[in-house]
A and B are shown apart, each in its own frame.
Chain A
Amino acid sequence: MNEQPYYLPFADEVDVFKAAYESRLPVLLKGPTGCGKTRFVEHMTWEIFQKKEISDPLITVSCHEDLTSTDLVGRYLLKGDETVWQDGPLTQAVRTGALCYLDEVVEARKDTTVLIHSLTDHRRVLPIDKTSEILRAHQDFLLVISYNPGYQSILKDLKPSTRQRFVSLTFDYPDEELEAAIIEHESGADASVSSRLAIIGKKVRNLREHGFEEGVSTRLLIYAGELMKRGIDARRASEIAIVQAVSDDANIQEAVSNIIDVVWP
């Protein structure tokens, strides 16, 4: 990471994260998809690790429902006539002292969340059953997880026993003005376009309850801005980047499309 990733703070989250890292307190980021959690982690990794000698200071795992503890810890591979052990991303981070970011952790299978328990209390160890190893975490290692309480159903909620091992930072979509500034910076679109995109974001999020609790992410608004900057018509760019992405429900798509239609001149 040579360049500082752009991140516009909305409150005291940067200071809180630094303080948490200094005490090696694991961090839980709550918030909807595309509101800037991953970018925040990248930004903080740059802030924390910029002067340290480590080639991969941030290891990100996007969790999914088939992700097992094996995928995180590691597995034996067949190599020629041998079976060889291959560290998983979590083990690699624990060994090298990187920041391990488990994105949308509740999507993963339950055994993975239990796995991280011993890493998030005073022990800071990772037991690896298959190699009979108890791996002590490197002093620079920190675990950061994220999830979206609104999006996941009760069937996929984070257990209190897991949640209470982390300090929590809650994220939401930035307000209209801040979001316009972010869109302008990230997409390179001009101020007036960015401001209109931020209005669309706000209006479309008013429909969050209708089967797309996620709303429209800042990321999608940036995509629309980028497309427009490359000459795509405003309505067409919004259609591609926003309408099709927020919902598969034809009525919702039509309503979002109608909102976009009146916002653009």
Chain B
Amino acid sequence: MSNHSPADINCVDLADIQHVLALFAEGIMGRYFHVKSNEDNAEASTTTSLFGAAHDAHNLYLPPQIDWLDRAELNSAIYRLLILQQLGFRLFETYSFSIDTAREKLADLASRPLPSHYRESDLEIFFQHFEHPDLMRSLFLIIESSRVERQMLEKYPGAKKYRHLLQPEIDRKFDPTMDGIKGELYSLQAALNHVSIASSSLVSLTFFATKLESTVYDSASSAMTCYEILATKLLHISDTNAGETEYQEEGLPLDWLQRQVRLEDWEQEVEEMNMQIASFELLPEENPQEAKVGDGKDEGGSLREIDIEIAVEREQTQRRIEIEKSAIRHALGEQHENTRSFLYDEWDYLKRTYLKGWCRVFEESLIADNEIDSSELVDTIKPLARSVGRQFEQIRPAGYQRINKVSDGDELYLNAVIDARADLKAGNSPDERVYSRRERLRRDVGAVFLVDLSASTDDPVEDAENDLNASEEAPNANLRDPYEDDEDDFLSVDYAARMAEEAARRRIIDIQREAVALMATALERLGDMYAVYGFSGYGADCVEFYVAKEFTHALDKSALDAIAAMKPKRSTRMGPAIRHALRKLDGAGTASKVLMIVSDGFPQDCDYGPERGNHEYGLQDTAQALREAAKAGVETFCVTVDRSGNDYLKRMCPENRYMVIEETTELPEALQKAYRQLTMI
């Protein structure tokens, strides 16, 4: 999303290296972080870093470009330095701050009354001990950042040279004209960042916090000492300036950050309780009399009682987690935890260029909730599965073939032995390939089934007659676009009756699921490698890619449950989903690669092109993604149940690489035919 001058060859775009940076961060921390531009998050502007870097529980926010140094590789290294600075807050336990420990360690703090609090983080409670909590927050952050950087550079000494190279840029940014309390804080931060022309009388008071072995409590202690001095100065500043105590901008999400980390601790606790409960369940049943709760015989509590107690505690913790998650989501937006994200370019056919790193694809496992059970899906496909499986089995290559005349094998090959003997007798050197061996014949095919999970797949399956009537009654209705609701129509029908009728009918998504599940069972017999993914999303920065089955996973109950859990979601931004599927296919490493897209309409999304109603942009981007697939040696095939599909598929897909299904129920058969055709069997 950047547009620096092409001539500036030393400038590094975040979009170009975000994947490598995410891997770097994952290596350092052992868990995944989404690497995003600080333009993606308003909160990110509030940061302890002088360079616009910030973080929250799942994201690292960095400047969209860096051109501060005169070599591109050094600018890339600065990105890594900024990442280390941000991860340092977690590595060196800023968020482990406990108010109880702080009050034990810091006598001055303990002498202050504990502020009333409800669900705030411990750090926030610490700030609330003071008359000017904003001032304390700013002081603490400046000092703590310095402590964290000191320790980070000690642990990762290779980063020191990049920090050193960054110093002129820090010096250059320093503004000596700032005055008042803000100026004091700014000077302290600059001095702690080794800006040569910055001076602050407070620096000497932070000595203990910047020692190698110092902890977050040393930062808190130093911040308190500095606070006393600045609070006294505040008394002498006019009322109009008194409010400007916060050097950082409003809304620094430190409180939320610690609450997110606390959430992770709670989730860990739940995990431990689950393990405890599981271990109790493995124990043999107790004597029923002993197991009676509260019978007074066992004052220490029987195993069952302990089990129940843990279960109750687990329930409470889980409820607390849900409430906290909801609060965090409300404050910070969608969190995308347990996902990985990838940036992809998008083809802008109007400008005839790729928009760099335009789409963010979030990859997420489809995990069936308790209500989803694949047994219904399995029962539905069972009658067909056997015959389809048999068809595929017939085309499976014969198990073994004997290869004669090889240098190594399990049997001597008599003809070769005779030839060798004859050669020897004739005085010639014999051929040493006198063995035969059995070799298994294998197909080396990797296939991806990419299923459109847009909202419109919730539509009921229309039979031809009804569909004809429907199109006569409502010629302008656009079932494919969930954003074009006609409110008047909606109100004029008996909604409850319509819902009941629709619930009884099969939907497009049902047929898609069955078709994919059927293909999966057939491919199990054939022995091909395959994966099943779904895609949806809303907007360029939130394309969702759902994993039902990976190449390396077996088609077990959890995979079938995941396929059964595929449900209609939001839009159809097809281009980035295809590009991500290509990445997956590339990773599978098979000789032959196949991508089968199962869709119910044209590509569309809220910002897929300059005009919302115009689908040409999305169509062109998808066509470009399919061309990229062909270039990468991937055979593609689009199957759609949209009867108007011919209009756009012929412009979007390579010739003979698409199929429009008139009757949705024909989808399973169509998929099989197309698959066999593509894999040339």
Check if B29 sits within 8 Å of A78, measured CB to CB: no
A8 smallest CB distance to B (angstroms): 24
- Chain A, residues 73-92, CB within 8 Å of chain B (1/0): the string is 00110100101000000000
| CB contact list, B197-237 vs A, under 8 A | none
- Chain B, residues 544-567, CB within 8 Å of chain A (1/0): the string is 000000011110000000000000
| CB contact list, A44-103 vs B, under 8 A | 66, 68-71, 75-76, 78, 81, 83
Complex alpha-carbon distance, A1 and B30, angstroms:
40
Our pick among B20, B434, B529, B553 for the contact of A258 (Cβ within 8 Å) is B20
Closest to A196 in B: B157
A105 smallest CB distance to B (angstroms): 17
B291 smallest CB distance to A (angstroms): 34
Our pick among A154, A251, A261 for the contact of B19 (Cβ within 8 Å) is A251
Q: Is B300 at the interface (CB under 8 A from chain A)?
A: no
Complex alpha-carbon distance, A261 and B28, angstroms:
12
Q: Is B487 at the interface (CB under 8 A from chain A)?
A: no
Residues of chain A with a CB closer than 8 A to B437's CB: 68
Closest to B80 in A: A258
Q: Is B288 at the interface (CB under 8 A from chain A)?
A: no
| CB contact list, A6-41 vs B, under 8 A | none
- Chain B, residues 415-451, CB within 8 Å of chain A (1/0): the string is 0010011000000000000110110100000000000
Q: Is A220 at the interface (CB under 8 A from chain B)?
A: no
- Chain A, residues 221-259, CB within 8 Å of chain B (1/0): the string is 000000000000000000000000000000110111011
A261 smallest CB distance to B (angstroms): 5
Check if B24 sits within 8 Å of A255, measured CB to CB: yes
- Chain A, residues 165-208, CB within 8 Å of chain B (1/0): the string is 00000000000000000000000000000000000000110110
Complex alpha-carbon distance, A223 and B586, angstroms:
31
Check if B28 sits within 8 Å of A259, measured CB to CB: yes
Check if B158 sits within 8 Å of A263, measured CB to CB: yes
Given A258-B24, A264-B158 in contact, is the A68-B410 Cβ separation under 8 Å? yes
Check if A262 sits within 8 Å of B23, measured CB to CB: no
Residues of chain B with a CB closer than 8 A to A155's CB: 529
A197 smallest CB distance to B (angstroms): 14
Check if A207 sits within 8 Å of B23, measured CB to CB: yes
Q: Is B412 at the interface (CB under 8 A from chain A)?
A: yes
Residues of chain B with a CB closer than 8 A to A258's CB: 20, 24, 80
| CB contact list, A137-156 vs B, under 8 A | 153-155
Closest to B153 in A: A262
Complex alpha-carbon distance, A260 and B420, angstroms:
56
Closest to A213 in B: B552
Q: Is A160 at the interface (CB under 8 A from chain B)?
A: no
A147 smallest CB distance to B (angstroms): 16
Closest to B23 in A: A255
Check if B412 sits within 8 Å of A83, measured CB to CB: yes
Check if A78 sits within 8 Å of B412, measured CB to CB: yes
Check if A206 sits within 8 Å of B80, measured CB to CB: no
Check if A255 sits within 8 Å of B157, measured CB to CB: no
Closest to B421 in A: A81
A207 smallest CB distance to B (angstroms): 5
Sort chain B's interface into a size bin.
35 or more
Number of A-B residue pairs having CB atoms within 8 Å of each other in the complex: 75
Q: Is B53 at the interface (CB under 8 A from chain A)?
A: no
Which of A154, A203, A255 gathers the greatest number of chain B CB atoms within 10 Å? Answer: A255
Check if B409 sits within 8 Å of A203, measured CB to CB: no
A242 smallest CB distance to B (angstroms): 12
Which of B30, B156, B553 gathers the greatest number of chain A CB atoms within 10 Å? Answer: B156
Q: Is A163 at the interface (CB under 8 A from chain B)?
A: no
Sort chain A's interface into a size bin.
20 to 34
Complex alpha-carbon distance, A83 and B418, angstroms:
12
Check if B26 sits within 8 Å of A207, measured CB to CB: yes
Our pick among A69, A81, A206, A207 for the contact of B410 (Cβ within 8 Å) is A69
Check if A259 sits within 8 Å of B24, measured CB to CB: yes
| CB contact list, B118-164 vs A, under 8 A | 156-160
Check if B409 sits within 8 Å of A70, measured CB to CB: yes
Check if A206 sits within 8 Å of B26, measured CB to CB: yes
Complex alpha-carbon distance, A251 and B583, angstroms:
13
B440 smallest CB distance to A (angstroms): 8
Our pick among A78, A83, A255 for the contact of B27 (Cβ within 8 Å) is A255
Check if A262 sits within 8 Å of B156, measured CB to CB: yes
A78 smallest CB distance to B (angstroms): 6
Q: Is B296 at the interface (CB under 8 A from chain A)?
A: no
Check if A206 sits within 8 Å of B159, measured CB to CB: no
Q: Is B333 at the interface (CB under 8 A from chain A)?
A: no
Check if A203 sits within 8 Å of B420, measured CB to CB: no
Q: Is B508 at the interface (CB under 8 A from chain A)?
A: no
Complex alpha-carbon distance, A195 and B59, angstroms:
30
Check if A154 sits within 8 Å of B554, measured CB to CB: yes
Check if B23 sits within 8 Å of A78, measured CB to CB: no
Check if B412 sits within 8 Å of A251, measured CB to CB: no
Check if B23 sits within 8 Å of A251, measured CB to CB: yes
Complex alpha-carbon distance, A91 and B587, angstroms:
40
Q: Is A136 at the interface (CB under 8 A from chain B)?
A: no
Q: Is A210 at the interface (CB under 8 A from chain B)?
A: yes
Q: Is B84 at the interface (CB under 8 A from chain A)?
A: yes
Complex alpha-carbon distance, A263 and B157, angstroms:
6
Check if B412 sits within 8 Å of A76, measured CB to CB: yes
Residues of chain B with a CB closer than 8 A to A211's CB: 587
Using CB atoms and an 8 Å cutoff, list the residues of chain A in contact with chain B: 66, 68-71, 75-76, 78, 81, 83, 109, 153-155, 203-204, 206-207, 210-211, 251-252, 254-256, 258-265
Instruction: Give 26 pairs: A residue, B residue, CB < 8 Å, sorted on A.
Output: A70-B409, A75-B435, A76-B412, A78-B412, A153-B551, A154-B553, A154-B554, A203-B27, A203-B28, A206-B27, A206-B28, A206-B30, A206-B31, A207-B23, A251-B19, A252-B23, A254-B20, A255-B26, A258-B24, A259-B27, A261-B158, A262-B156, A263-B157, A263-B158, A265-B157, A265-B158
Contacts A76-B412, A206-B27 known; list 8 others, CB within 8 Å: A68-B437, A69-B410, A81-B421, A153-B551, A255-B26, A255-B27, A258-B20, A264-B157
